[in-house]
Amino acid sequence: MPAVQETIDQVRLIDVDQYKYGFETEVEMEKSPKGLSEDVIRFISAKKGEPEWMLQWRLDAYKRWLTMKEPAWARVSYDKIDYNDIYYYAAPKKNQAPKSLDEVDPEILKTYEKLGIPLREQEILAGVEPQRRVAVDAVFDSVSVATTFKEELAKAGVIFMPISEAIREYPDLVRQYMGSVVPVTDNFFATLNSAVFTDGSFVYIPPGVRCPMELSTYFRINEKNTGQFERTLIIADKGSYVSYLEGCTAPKRDENQLHAAVVELIALDDAEIKYSTVQNWYPGDAQGKGGIYNFVTKRGDCRGKNSVITWTQVETGSAITWKYPSCILRGDNSRGEFYSIAVSNGMQQVDSGTKMIHLGKNTTSRIISKGIAAGRSENTYRGLVSAHRKATGARNFTNCDSLLIGNQCGAHTVPYIESKNATAVFEHEATTSKISEDQMFYCQQRGLSEEEATALIVNGFVKDVLQHLPMEFAVEAQKLISISLEGSVG
Amino acid sequence: MADVTLMKTPAETALAQAFESAKTSLPGQAESRAQAFEQFTQRGLPHRRVEEFKYTDLRAMMREIAPFAGVPAADEARAALAGAKALASVKALQVPFVNGHFVREAVDFHNLPENVEIVPLAEALAENHDWLARLSPVPWANDNPVYQLNTSFMADGVMIRIAGPVEMPVHLRFVTSAASAVATATRILVVVEEGASVTLLETHESTDGANHQPNDVIEMIAGDRTNVQHVRINAEGDKALALSTLAARIGGDALFNSINVVAGSATSRHQVFAVLDGENTNLRVNGATMLKGVQHADSTLVVEHAAPHCESRELFKTVIDNEATGVFQGKIIVPHHAQKTDGRMMSAALLLEEGGSMNNKPELEIFADDVQCAHGATCGQLDEDLLFYLMARGLPKKEAERLLVQAFLGEALEFVENEAAREALIETVEGWLKART
């Protein structure tokens, strides 16, 4: 059965020609020389005032990168990227270490205003929902322009700052954890990122602390011919909790811009990290011209026992998405979750999914993925669930559905399920009606139709994170998750 | 990853030498053999970096190449066939092979059942028979290295034409009786003409203790309104490395039912490549695999729904004991025009003991928007509740386990239409379970 009209209409609302964040901001920028070389890396490192060890780390990564080949296994195709035709560093000139928002270029502030990102703390306090406060780190091309609520967070012991600052102020923490989840040599794009990363967020939640507000980073690519290489590192120490949101947009351009980020999460004993992404990079036009190449390595390490990492992603942007937020379930009884909605329109190509690597005892994971392909797009779910020899009692449930709108697009599913432990129980399901018969029965018994019940249950997983999104497009995200998957093809 | 040109492995070098010395004596089709071998050589033996062979690394598994088997002496062939046991209880037209060579004497060509025609492949190749044009009904199979090796080395086989309904099953019986390791490459073509029906049995047996390397390809062209029931058993010897391919092109309004039961060989890989070429066709591909020790079995399946309104059902059951490894790779392809396709693929594995492993990869590739495709994969141990239920009723644990495993595999077997064959398969399962305790 083809998709229902309501779904078609909803997907149409976010079609590539409806992109709302495609405007450009005129600010004077300072850039590194074009191309990639040791000198450029030294330039970036010097700009950030980094210690010697960091520079060495970058240079080692660069040397390694030179020997690597771009991966070709993903189901995406694009013209060869000329890595020497990109500016690896671009920062607003007037933004040399602003001490307060008043020193930030008003043009940039306007940009964030337009995007609906609250950068002024008092505005947020005076907002409609005063009880919901969100600390924001705003990254504009290669630098962080503002971070809000720093003092208040510091009172709770929470460190929330641009990573370039953290490298200077908390070198021991950064050194201990950076690269411990995504090693420098992990993959082509991660290695590139390790060599040239410019900014991103650093979060440290001390033991036993429940982060008093949601943290978020808003990434904006603005300058032409640049790439954005952000690096985020979140450490939740024993018994702590943090919810982190990430949003991204870029101007409409005919050229393709590269965004190669690395995100590392570390959850120690009894800690919990919720990481949510609303990815809305410019997707290119209906003919597939322009758009962001989103080649991202995201990985969480449930290092301690009873730790939890949850990835939630709403993917609507980017010309090409290549990303697999993963969980390494190392600690006993740790839990990994992945909720994803990927909508592709126009000529977009999405190859996304997750990896749940069960190493510890009694580890559990859940994967709920919805892929919706429209226009002439290609939408691939690629996921790995594996249990190693010692992962006694590991448990996984996977449900991945895809829906096609029109017959010019493609939806693909490539799951890998590898079990090396007899007590591990893995289930991979692709039929919506199989979610949980008990829950379905409960809902249907109370008068909901099967479809309503399914929507309710699936949305129940995702909603608790998404309904708290502070950004303007939270509304869209909400709409998206309520999209019916009636006519889902499995 | 740096660009590295790999040296040829000893096995690859041995294959090249074997091809060099055999190519003049192999019957016919010199050009297509050379072409297939050239294609194979370009990439060599597939290894774990080759996606389709990710879980079955032939470069690591085929360290040596066994010499290709010669034609057996008449009495040797007779003795080998007399000792063959697989599906022996099913009354069928016997089409036997010993050491990869067709045993002509065993077939009474003058009294073949109605609607059955058989042409020995070696002769056909040498004479450039008309039917040869129908070989390779699934063009993309030519890209597969195992298939390429078969095309390069195929020494014998038969071509069978089914012109109408055939009552008696046709039994392709492969026996390798050589005491030391041999390699074989056979090719079978079965053409089932419009409206015809046939039950094909295919059994593979070989001597224990020898590293035999059979590589068999069965190709089928089933026309419109045909009914094909295919039952295959791998009962190879305990050291064999068995590679096999079923490549089928199926017309409209047809029924096609194939099952592969793995009860032997140290390492095996069975590939099914099916193209549904006409509307309203119903395809079922099942598998039942029983593994113990350090056995390795790979079931690879690609189904292309090239026409709308077709239904395909794939059910693969794997039981893994000790430290054995099971692999299932399935892929359903639905192109733009194949609307109203209904495909369902399921792989379920039981790990009986600590140490076993299972790799599942149920893939979907869909381009049409009005289709239903589901895929599922499960992996785990026997359900404790079910065990408890049976034990509470007085069954000893082993007995309860046996019953549950039998029921688990039975699901895949129940679609076998031929009663005698189904019974024989169930007996095979029972035999395997008995040997376990």
Residue-range domain boundaries for chain A: 5-481
Q: Which of B260, B278, B296 is the last residue of a domain?
A: B278
- Residue of A365, A380, A421 to mutate for B, most B C-beta atoms under 10 A: A421
B417 and B269 in a common domain: no
pTM of the model: 0.88
From the number of C-beta atoms within 10 Å of its C-beta (0-12, 13-18, 19+), residue B384 rates as exposed
Cβ–Cβ below 8 Å for B2 and A69: yes
Q: Which residues of B touch A419 (CB under 8 A)?
A: 349, 351, 357-359, 379-380
Residue B355 lies in a domain: no
Of B366, B378, B381, the CB nearest to A412: B366
* Gap from B356 CA to chain A (nearest CA, Å): 6
Cβ–Cβ below 8 Å for B373 and A490: yes
pLDDT tens figures, A153-163: 888 999 998 89
User: Scanning every residue of chain A, which has its alpha carbon at the shortest distance from the alpha carbon of B334?
Assistant: A410
Other beta carbons within 10 Å of B337: 13
Q: How far apart are CA B299 and CA B244, in angstroms?
A: 10
Residue B196 lies in a domain: yes
pLDDT by residue, tens only, chain A of 490 residues: 566 666 677 677 777 677 777 777 777 788 888 889 999 999 999 988 899 999 999 999 999 999 999 988 888 888 888 898 888 988 887 655 566 667 777 777 777 777 767 676 555 444 344 445 677 788 877 777 777 788 888 889 999 988 988 999 999 999 999 999 999 999 999 999 999 998 889 999 999 999 988 888 888 888 888 888 999 999 999 999 998 888 888 888 888 889 999 999 999 999 999 998 888 888 888 888 888 899 999 999 999 999 999 998 888 888 999 999 999 999 999 999 998 888 888 889 999 999 999 999 999 998 888 888 888 899 999 999 999 999 999 999 888 878 777 788 888 899 999 999 999 999 887 543 334 567 778 888 999 887 677 667 656 544 544 554 444 445 556 555 555 455 454 4
Closest CA to A102 of A146, A163, A133, A164: A146
Per-residue DSSP letter, B281: -
Residue B305 lies in a domain: no
**Backbone dihedral angles phi then psi of residue A300, each to the nearest 5 degrees:** -115, 145
Of A2, A416, A423, the CB nearest to B370: A2
Size of interface A-B (CB pairs under 8 A): 129
∠B330-B334-B340 over CA atoms, to 5°? Answer: 120
* Gap from B5 CA to chain A (nearest CA, Å): 14
Of B339, B366, B379, the CB nearest to A411: B366
B394 and B255 in a common domain: no
pLDDT tens figures, A181-232: 999 999 999 999 999 998 889 999 999 999 988 888 888 888 888 888 999 9
State how many domains chain B has: 2
* Gap from B340 CA to chain A (nearest CA, Å): 8
Q: Which residues of B touch A383 (CB under 8 A)?
A: none
* Chain A interface residues (partner B, CB cutoff 8 A): 1-3, 67-69, 73, 389, 402, 404-431, 487, 489-490
pLDDT tens figures, B221-267: 999 999 999 999 999 999 999 999 999 999 999 999 999 999 999 99
Per-residue burial over B268-290, b = 16 or more CB atoms within 10 Å of its CB, e = otherwise = bbbbbbbbbbbbbbbbbbbbbbb
Q: Which residues of B touch A409 (CB under 8 A)?
A: 367, 369
CA A195, A199, A204, A210 torsion-angle sign: negative
**What pLDDT does A129 receive?**
42
B394 and B261 in a common domain: no
Range of the domain at B196: 30-278
B398 and B260 in a common domain: no
Cβ–Cβ below 8 Å for A73 and B51: yes
Residue B425 lies in a domain: yes
Residue-level length of chain A: 490
Q: Which residues of A touch B356 (CB under 8 A)?
A: 420, 422
Closest CA to B425 of B286, B324, B303, B329: B286
B188 and B44 in a common domain: yes
Structure-token pair, residue A172: 């021991």
CA B359, B365, B370, B371 torsion-angle sign: negative
Structure-token pair, residue B317: 């059951």
Q: Which of B226, B261, B278 is the last residue of a domain?
A: B278
- Residue of B371, B375, B379, B384 to mutate for A, most A C-beta atoms under 10 A: B379
